[in-house]
Structures are given as structure tokens and as C-alpha cells.
Structure 1
Amino acid sequence: MPFRPQRPHSIAASWSRILGRFTLLLAFMALVLHRAGVLDLPNAVAAILLASGLAIAVLGLSMIGFFMLWHVGAKGGHASFSGMVMALMVLIPVGIAASRYVLLPTIHDVTTDVMEAPEWLEPPVLELSWIKRSNGGDAAARDLQTLAYPQVTGRRYEGAIDRVLLAVRAVVQENKWTPVAHVGVEALVDGLEPVPESAGEGEPLSNGEVDPARAPIPAPRPDIENESVEALPTFALMQYETKTLVLGIPQDVLIRLVEEEETTFVDMRAATRDGDHDLGLNAELIQTFLRDLDIRLLGIAGG
């Protein structure tokens, strides 16, 4: 009768798959609940850190399973591979975030004007949590920003402030930012020409006959010489709030427009609400917005 050796079963491999499923589910649920607004950011970070610790343990168990498979032929190769893949699905994004945390400066407030940063119209609401939070607008933080993000600077456009305001509002609408407060925008918007409605909507087509009821009524000629003309404001401030696309991290954004002679200067400020580190998100937001604004105002951008 032939001898058939019995292959042992690797307990570590089995546990790597079981814990891997739990770890991946924990990280995924923390992300989904935070994105839905059910779980705030500090608690979501705590859950993801816990999942990362479990993922390291899962990776160790899967390595033990591979070792047992190689040396004694223990069953559990598929389980070890499954556990390793699920652990890496958690550890790779966390590792990318950790590398940005180490390589980028510890700041959470970025502005294009480090000397005179725009002041918030409505200070962002900050909630105390276990994540440390310090003043991000001091001189030391601005020096760190200058060294890390020298390319984050304002824009000067050859054009009136109302034209630049139109482009800014268009880019804001594309990004779907939520308005919070604004100053100096109403007077500029009132002076802008309304967008003409498409022909044929809400009005009957003319049949060529003259209709006395629709004849234009002459208006009195304005007295330009004696009538006082109110000057348009030369500055505008707009504050918005938004969230990152994937992680849903809340950010506050402030845009300042200042008209100087025949040019308009645009400054921005962006800040996250939790922790001392923004992982470079604020600088990316400002650079992306200004790049889109340059495209809108193509040909009149200056330094």
C-alpha cells in the first residue's frame, strides 16, 4: 500500500486571511463613513491607524504561511496570498500618506501672500480632538511654506476686476465649492452684463406684422453731466469651503481680488481644519485653481 504523507495545515495562513478581511473592511468603512459625514476626521484617522497596525500583523502571518509552505509543504498558500494582498491594499495608501507626512512641512495653512495673508471673513469652526493643532499663520509656518512651495504665488492679470471676477466665479462653480461669505462682490456683479437668454425661449416668434403693444418705449435721456456716478470697488473677498475628492477632508478657501491701475491681482488662502499637517493638499488646491484660472484668462496672465 503506497504511503501518502499528510500535509500539515498552516494556522498562520488561515488567520492572515481572516484578519485581512476584517482589516480591509475596517479601513473601507472608516473611509466611507467619513466621506458620508457620519464619522469625523480624527476618528476616521484613528480607525485607519488601527487597520494599519492590523495589516502589519496580517502581513507577518502571511509571511509565516509562505515559510511553512516552502519548508514543510503546509497547506495555506492561497490563504497567505489573499491575506498579503488585503494587507497591502491598506498599507500602500497609508504608506503614501506617511511619506508625504515626513517629506512635506508640518503646516496646515497655505497662502500666496506670506507677508499679508488674506484674513478669513468667517473664521473656520475648529473642533478639539486628539490630533494636535497649532497656529498655522505664524512667521515660522510661513517660512516653511516659502521653502517647500516657492511656486505658490499670486497672479496678476491685465484686465479689470469685474472680468477676473467672472472667471473666478466660473472656476468656483466647476469645482462645486460651497460659498460661505463675500465682501465687495455685490457691486461688481450688479455692474456685469447679464447673460442673454437663448432665442425662442418663453417668447412667441414674430410673424412679420407690427404689434403696437410690443413697440419700444423711449426712456428719458440720462443727465450724465450732473448725475453722480458711484465708483466700483477695487477689491473683493470670497470665502468658500470644500472637501477633497477621495478622502473628503474639509478645506476652507479664501480668494482676494485687488485692482491696481489696469491690472487685477489674485491671492488665495487654503487651510485644513484638523491636525498640523495638510499632506500638501492646500498647496495642490491653490495651484490647481490658479492653473484653471490662467486657462480661463488665457493671454492676460502676468507675474
Structure 2
Amino acid sequence: MTIQYERPVSHAAHWARRLALFSCLLFIAVVLSHRFGPLTTPHFLVLAGFAAAMAGLALLLAAFGLVRLWQIGARGGKASFMALLLSLLPLGVAGAAAYSYFYNPALYDVTTDAAMPPPWLAVPAVQQDWLPRSSVVTQRDREVQLEAYPGLSGRRYEGALDRVYQGVRKVATAYGITITVEDGLDNILADLEDLVVDPAKTARSAELASEVPIPEARPLETPLTPRIGGPGDVLLQGEWRSPVFGFRFDVVIRLREEAETTLVDMRAASRYGSHDLGMGARMVEGYLKALDAELLGIAGD
């Protein structure tokens, strides 16, 4: 009589592979929908959290399948190993996000000038859904930022306002910042017009000197729309999205001419939640370093 030994099958291992595959595909679809589609950040976080939870359950089932394989030689070792690999993506991203959440301070608005931050040309207003936050950035928030990011500071360039403005716009385009509104360009346009010589005006300069001037209406003392920022400031406001996951940030850049130099300050605020996971400070630092490289040779001390 021949006895044939049949190995038991670990159902936990096979369910682990199914759950891990589902969580991985769901996570990829959610990321693509948030980065390139209409999915908003609050809904993205919910679905990404659900995918990570499914991946965590698959990880437990895979571990149980490996234990059964070790103890009684149950089938399912390959399924458990595949489940572990598929769970790495959602669980790895969730772990990195959790680390950034606890390691970085709870800030959503950072700036290079904590004393006088660049003002918004259009105050960002987004429906927060289940991610409420305070609409006012307090002085305590600025103190926390100074403690967490002491190296986050503006730049001073020994160059004209128009030259620095051109570099700021060029680097913004290359860095993925879409400028939507600007203010204070009258100073830059005046500088650019001074550099252009009109032959017709030059030829008639002698004739105009002999003509009697005709009085014209006096311009208004104050413009119809109030000016935002200082009288010599140039403000550029736009939107930036993180390269991989597409988190949205509102950005404002301020240029200020001072003693034959130009000061550049920056402000970035995440659109959702009260915690930007440190991405705002990293984005500002990266942009300013790229601006330094673009304006190499005119940077001041």
C-alpha cells in the first residue's frame, strides 16, 4: 500500500497576494488620478490610506503564510513573497508620509521673510473638505518656522530689477511654477523703455523743444485699484504642483529694489490641510538655488 503525502495549501498566502495586487493597482490609479485627473487632495488621501490599509492586511496574511510554510510546509511561499513585493509601494509611501508628518513641524505656509511676508495678490480660497485649517498664520507659526528652517532666507542680487525679473520668470517656468497674476510691473516697464531709443523721437527732439507745450489733464493722485505691497515691489503669484503626487501649492515671489540691489523673497502655502510635510520649504529652497544658478555672477553677499 502506497501512501501519498499531499502538502496543505495556505489560503492566507493566496489571499495576501490578491489583496496586495488590489492595493497596489488602486494606489497607482489614485496617484495618476490626483496628478493628472480631477481627484482632489482630500479624496486622494482617503483612497491612498485605504490602499495602504489593504496592503497592511496583505502583509499580515503573507507573514502568516510564511509561518505555515515553515511549520508544516504549506503551499503558498511564492504567493506570500509576491504579496510582500506588491505591498512595498503603498506601505513605503505611507511610511515616508508618516515620517515627514512627525519629523517636520505642522506648518502649511512658509516664507523667506517671517517679519514681513510677501502678500497675496489673490488670497487662496479652497474648499478644505475634511482637512480644516486656520486661515490666519500666527506669529507663533513664524517662530516655529524659524526654528525648523533657519536657513530659509531670501536673496540679494547686485543687479537691476528688470534683469532679476527676467531670471525669476525663466526659473519659475523651468521649475514648474505657473504665474497667474502680477503686480508692480510699471517700474520694470519704465526701465525697459529707457533702454530703447526711438529714431523718430530723436529726429524730432529739436522740433519739440521749440514747440509750446499744451497743458493736459493732471493724472489721478491715487490709482483706482489699491496697490498691494510696497511702492517699489514687484509681486508674482502662481501655482506649483509637486512632481510625483501633484500636491498643489500657491506661491508668491516678491522683488524689491534697494540701494542698487534687488531683494527676492518667496512664500509658499499648501492648499489643503494644516501640514505640508515639509514640501513647501524644500520647494522654496530648490527654487532659490536654481535662481542663484541662473543669476550667477550678480549675487550679493
TM category, shorter = 0.7 to 0.9
The code of the aligned residue for 1:219 comes to: A
1:258-277 residue pairs with structure 2 within 5 A? 258-277=256-275
2: CA distance between counterparts of 1:29 and 1:176?
A: 23
1:168 aligns with 2:168: yes
Measured in 2, the distance between the counterparts of 1:46 and 1:39 equals 11
SS of structure 1 residue aligned to 2:95:
helix
Aligned-partner residue type, residue 28 of structure 2: F
1:220 paired with 2:204, answer yes
Partners of 1:176 and 1:70 in 2: how far apart?
Answer: 52
Task: Trace 1:247-286 onto structure 2 (pairs within 5 A).
Answer: 247-286=245-284
Query: TM-score, normalising length from structure 2?
Result: 0.86
Corresponding residue of 2:84: 84
1:179 counterpart residue number: 179
SS of equivalent residue, structure 1 residue 159: coil
The one-letter code of the counterpart of 1:167 is G
Counterpart residue number, 1:107: 107
Residues 238 and 101 of structure 1: CA distance in aligned 2, closer, same or farther (over 3 Å): same
Matches within 5 A, 1:178-197: 178-189=178-189, 191-192=191-192
Is contact 1:237–1:255 with CA below 8 Å preserved after alignment? Answer: yes
More helix by percentage: 2
Question: What number of residue pairs does the alignment pair up?
Answer: 278
**Alpha-carbon contact 1:136-1:276 (below 8 Å) kept:** no
Whole-Å separation in 1 of the counterparts to 2:286 and 2:203 = 47
Report the RMSD for the aligned CA atoms in angstroms: 2.4
Q: CA contact under 8 A between 1:10 and 1:74: conserved in structure 2?
A: yes
Residue of structure 1 in register with 2:16 after alignment: 16
Other-structure match for 2:220:
none
- Aligned-partner SS, 1:151: coil
Maintained 8 Å contact 2:176/2:241: no
- Decide which moves more: 133-142 or 78-87: 133-142
CA distance in 1, matches of 2:170, 2:189: 13
> Any unmatched runs of 5+ in structure 2?
194-198, 214-230
Structure 2 counterpart of 1:158, one-letter code: E
Distance 1:127 1:242 in 2: 18
Residues 187, 232 of structure 2: 8 Å contact kept: no
TM-score by length of 1: 0.86
Identity in percent: 41
